[in-house]
């Protein structure tokens, strides 16, 4: 069966996020006030053929650790896109 999966990659807590900081500084000028702790990241969408959803998620998690992220400075999480 084919499962839609999303992998989100974000910088680990404590790692400087210049993109997020730039966005946060620009928000008041655009009329968005009271928004803090902005962090930027990447999102990857894919379909994975697997026997069940948990196997598809395990494959996506392995892919995220080996290719889609730098585990030293980034966190990667896989989730089902079927609920979206």
Q: Where are the domains of the chain?
A: 2-80
| Start-to-end CA span in the chain (Å) | 18
pLDDT of residue 84 exceeding 80 = no
pLDDT, residue 82, reads 85
- Output the six-digit token pair for 52: 């069940």
CATH topology of domain 2-80: Mth169; Chain: A , (3.30.1280)
Q: How much is the pTM?
A: 0.87
Helix/strand/coil percentages in the chain, nearest 5? 35, 30, 35
pLDDT band, very low/low/confident/very high, at 63 (cuts 50, 70, 90) = very high
pLDDT of residue 40 exceeding 80 = yes
């Amino acid at each position: 069966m084919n499962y839609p999966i999303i992998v989100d990659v974000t910088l680990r807590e404590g790692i400087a996020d210049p993109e997020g900081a730039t966005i946060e500084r620009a928000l008041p000028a655009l009329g968005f006030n009271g928004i803090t702790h902005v962090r930027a990241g990447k999102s990857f969408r894919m379909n994975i053929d697997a026997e069940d959803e948990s196997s598809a998620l395990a494959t996506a998690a392995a892919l995220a650790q080996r290719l889609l992220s730098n585990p030293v400075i980034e966190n990667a999480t896989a989730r089902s896109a079927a609920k979206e």
